[in-house]
Amino acid sequence: MWRHVALEAGHTPHPGDIRVPWWARVSSALAPVLLIGGWTLAASRQVGRFDPRVRTISELAALDATDRWVMTLAIAGTGLCHLVTALGLRPAARTGRILLALGGAATVLVAVFPLPAGGSSAAHTVVAFASFVLLTVWAPYAGVRESSAPWGLRRGVALASGAVLGVLTVSFFLTVLVSGSDVGLTERLAAGAQALWPAVVVATVPRARAGITYSPA
């Protein structure tokens, strides 16, 4: 049973006592909408046939992409959403929140350092790699041991989610290394799951009731 108590001065709150502010709920829900909606819209605006199974998300924001601003804004917006969510995800362990925020910052930098026309970029590769890694490892580090923790932040669930995200991310990295034909598909599976998981975690935190205040983060 969830405990709905007022947090008094000097009281150390349990994760089940702490709520997520409305703006973090909005940001967590908006992240997957921006990313998935962004790559869908951007692909539809490309000249000629764009195969999302083969072509990457970054190609949609490359300097030679048609209407590259669509994917650029979607990537930057997704990163900003992760930053806001990390700030408001107060029931989570601090380390996990920091990693989520860093993942959001790295995602913004993916938009700042796009792929050049018809080529690759060391800066883009580094920030994209950092983004994928950080948005994978934040999940297990966000888990807490208290039995009152929301479902998405329970230690077992956090570890399991980290394992699933890890498998998807490693699959994408391996596909890139071997120049596999499914690089676009594996990237979208990993990136989509990473964008969606913070929203799932936030959704498992009960909404605040009267008499409940937020704990200092």
d(CA 173, CA 161): 18
Please answer whether residues 103 and 141 qualify as being in contact, where contact means their C-beta atoms are separated by less than 8 angstroms: no
Structure confidence by residue, pLDDT tens digits, 133-153: 999 999 999 999 888 889 999
Mind listing the pLDDT tens digit for each residue in 11-23?
445 555 578 999 9
Let me know: does 50 contact 43? Beta carbons within 8 Å: yes
pTM exceeding the 0.85 threshold for the entire prediction: yes
Q: For residue 7, name the pLDDT band (cuts at 50, 70, 90).
A: very low
- Exposed/middle/buried for residue 145 (C-beta within 10 Å: 0-12, 13-18, 19+): exposed
